[in-house]
A and B are shown apart, each in its own frame.
Chain A
């Protein structure tokens, strides 16, 4: 029995290790080859920072980072604000209105990206709108809001209806009830909605590809237009993104963990 259990534990550890390798080998590969001193993606010929230098010297590449972040930040802020307001509004709307809006709201989530992208492109063309940063941002806001709403709605449903009424009862105006009572309670859901929106925008390729205009590329589009030729600068760019995101995620996840432990230690 003991032996069997040990075997099982080893088996499960082995399997999980394999899965993790599957996830991380490519990432490691990108990072390693970003330090290669030749253009080869198959053999590591020596350490160098040349691809990083080239990346920083490449204005289009740097601009793509800039636009990615700019669009993601604007889209996140706008979609979070609009999404929050809408979600609260919907939770107090008539059932029919709520159902219809939710169904339409689900469209960009359920529809393949490419369909959403094309529909937006056709729309911008038909109203004679020059594609560019503005259309890109509008498109991003459009596909981010649904995720914010989807993340806030369940939390709103859990909310005790009486709590908002209690605020009114105690003399708060509807606006005060909103800002002082409802929003503080769904703060976490709003934040996670914002995070989802940010990552969706940051990650998007298809919709951006069809709705952007001259000179406005995000990282995805840049990688896509560049992938045909071996270009280790892309590796450098990827490594940089991986580094930033890994750092942020580790901080976000580990700091509260450490804090909790410290708290526990103090309490104990």
Chain B
């Protein structure tokens, strides 16, 4: 076995160890550096793994211990997993750098190391969700994810952030309870906990028609549990407050990592256990499709009505997650590719918006209200550029990541004559809605309300971390918008090797 195959195990362990040693580091700045260093090491390792699996053209399983598939825990890695791990590590570093100043201002000094602990464990749990080959391991790490995300939400300890945290905790307990019930039912009918054994058993059950109702309910419970966790349309109520009340880097990391980890787990489960045919047969994909379509419209409308900047971005995230589930709900291979592209596009765009918005809010002296942000981009042009690029990308301006994702969703929708009309109409409608709330915001931040007065330029000293992170974010966004062909090929390779 080549040594590079150890990377998934090392990634998860480095992130976990980074979290475990945090209580020993009392200084917030050092803690942040250690967190970033851990994420950087994992990022480099993931890039190495990505090169290796693309070169070898096959994915592999990794035994966690001395025992193979149906007995011991296993990890599994292929191009898609490695790519997602790389993306998540990058978002982690860039989000932390972009929101660094806010973090030191918002969180009291003796809690900064605990905050970094939560971030590390969040990264570890997301990585484990991406790599795991075992549904019960997935459950355990979902709980780590929920608890650490809750810690990140309440880091600021204002009344509202505690309320947001308790709402988040209630909803995520419901989600993980349903998910656990789903895997218990699956275990009851199949007798397996690892994906490779479970998939043959599920195929056999689906073919023979035995235990059809339990299978349906189990798959439905898993789907509902994961969509509650990833804030799909009817269950997105917790999301805007949770994102809005965290500190800037917390919002960025949440928007980039949390819901995406669950979606990738879901895609893995679909490909490795349930298969698209069984899912379509049980009418679950259709339900997801409808939920995705409604979410695209309704969450966008809520974002349009929203007055607070970060809550608007939160609702926009809910709409973007609905796009992903719409892609999954198409039930075709192209739909999945488009959904993965949308995951990548949103994962790099939304943290950019959050870090830029955080900087603009600083320029507006901490006011969250959208109309107080007028003209703030003049004070902090880089943040303005970041917000503009991010917003335009989500509106679907060509050459940016959001456009490519939407374009591919549209192309994928063409493949299914029944769903094509709805999908395209809603896609168009949702894009118009996106433009209706992002464009005024973008114009607003560049033009001060009182037209004559030229504001003095940046009074704060330059924040190198923010400059770096914004530049890299914009670069990534343009890269994803331009290098569509190779990325699609990579995703297709990854999906075929899942």
- To the question of whether A and B form a pair in one complex, the answer is no
